[in-house]
Amino acid sequence: MSIIERLKAQREAQALKLLSNSLYTKQYHLNYITSNSAFNIPYNGMQCDWHQVDMLSGGQYVTHPTNFIGAEDIFADYGLWDCTEWFNANGIKKESLCATPIRAILDKLYYELAIYDCYPKIFDDFWNYMFDELDMDELREKLQILKSSLLPHQQVWLTQWETKNEIYRRR
């Protein structure tokens, strides 16, 4: 089997796994920008990623539930704000809700842990983002809520992620 055939088979298996996950296929009520796209939109003056120009020029956003499933079932509308004014100030006519940095972090972790059912290795670079102004006590509190909503093996992965990224070390 060629590498292309193996890759195709792997993608098909992953798609079937997603389609069998009721969290992936269910109907959601909220629509908002999250994950890395939300890190690029300043919230109360805090911008956690610097790729804003690329995101704006491309017009492609990570949006729950269109192309990403966030933790709506756990956190409802916690950490969502109206970012329409910010888009208008940047010359873009777009009405949208956006996740705060903490909500976007929770959504990223939820997506990997609960939706893909895997360790969140794509977010192992936590401190490479500009999270210096983040309220770490609030994040830690919300991580505990997230953890209590996960399956036991997913809780283990989240604990490993927290340890690797020194989430509980005082900064």
Give per-residue pLDDT as tens, 142-153.
Answer: 999 999 999 999
Q: What is the mean pLDDT of residues 13-30?
A: 83
Residue 62's φ and ψ, nearest 5 degrees, are -80, 115
What is the reported pLDDT for 12?
86
Class of residue 19 by CB neighbours under 10 A (exposed 0-12, middle 13-18, buried 19+) = exposed
Band of the pLDDT at 91, cuts 50, 70, 90?
confident
Q: Are 13 and 5 in contact (CB under 8 A)?
A: no
Least confident of 22-31, 41-50, 72-81, 92-101: 41-50
Rounded to the nearest 10 degrees, the angle between the axes of helix 152-164 and helix 136-148 is 160
For 24-74, the DSSP string reads HHS-----EE-HHHHHTS-BTTB---S-HHHHHHHT---EETTT---SHHH
- pTM exceeds 0.85, yes or no: yes
